Amino acid sequence: MATSAVGPHTWDDFVALEEDDLRELIDGELVEVEVPTDIHEHVVTLLAFFLTAWARPRQAGFALVSGFKVRISERCGVMPDVQFYRRGNQTAQRTPQGLVGGHPDLVVEVVSPSSGRYDRVTKLGYYATIAVPEYWIIDVAARTIERLVLNDGRYAIEDAAAEDAVFQPASFDGLEIPLGELWRIPET
């Protein structure tokens, strides 16, 4: 990841970036993140689809995908691949540009070849800081999904699934995600 030459930057600088600017705000620096691949975007799209299809008939909340900014602090902001807000989430303070306070109920990161440590260590710490209750990490290369739950300020793996299993997270009663569909982009 490359950083910008001029800094330090703030949340206001971050939300002022153009919509297609993929940099995140890390310790006051605008850091370039990896450009998503086709399989990365396929996984993100399907996750948003499955979460939305589960939530709509239940009026249980809504999903947002890549690009919606989440404020961690004045000098730190990120863009989760998927985020979900449950109906009744009183903590979330959203503006059209991003979440300025509180937290989503779920964030999901799809690990890219160069983002493993960033997603599994750095972002995990950020999400714990703002008390995101649940964090899913999807590794396309390993064909795995891990469901981490925040408890006493630390995440622990509650569920994991791999290959062609059907992922059924306990926190989303009735949600079924057939993992085999995530790993392959259908032919056109």
For 133-186, the pLDDT digits (tens) are: 999 999 999 999 999 999 999 999 999 999 999 999 999 999 999 999 999 999
DSSP assigned state of 6: S
Q: Write down the pLDDT at residue 82.
A: 98
Q: Write down the pLDDT at residue 36.
A: 84
Q: Write down the pLDDT at residue 103.
A: 98
Kind and range of the H or E element at 64? strand 61-65
- Pairwise CA distance, residues 159 & 55, whole Å: 20
Residue 1 predicted with pLDDT over 80: no
CATH of the domain at 50: 3.90.1570.10
List, in sequence order, every residue forming a beta bridge with 136; answer none if it has no partner: 108, 147
Would 11 be classed as within a structural domain? Answer: no
**Model confidence at 113, in pLDDT bands (50, 70, 90)?**
confident
For 4-49, the pLDDT digits (tens) are: 456 799 999 999 999 889 899 999 999 988 878 999 999 999 999 9
Q: Write down the pLDDT at residue 7.
A: 75
Would 109 be classed as within a structural domain? Answer: yes
Per-residue pLDDT averaged across 91-100, rounded? 95
State how many domains the chain has: 1
- Pairwise CA distance, residues 61 & 134, whole Å: 15
Q: The whole model's pTM is what?
A: 0.92
Range of the domain at 173: 37-182
Would 131 be classed as within a structural domain? Answer: yes
Top-confidence residue, 74 or 66: 74
Would 108 be classed as within a structural domain? Answer: yes
Would 188 be classed as within a structural domain? Answer: no
Of 188, 175, 187, residue with least CA distance to 56 = 175
Would 30 be classed as within a structural domain? Answer: no
For 79-88, the pLDDT digits (tens) are: 999 999 999 9
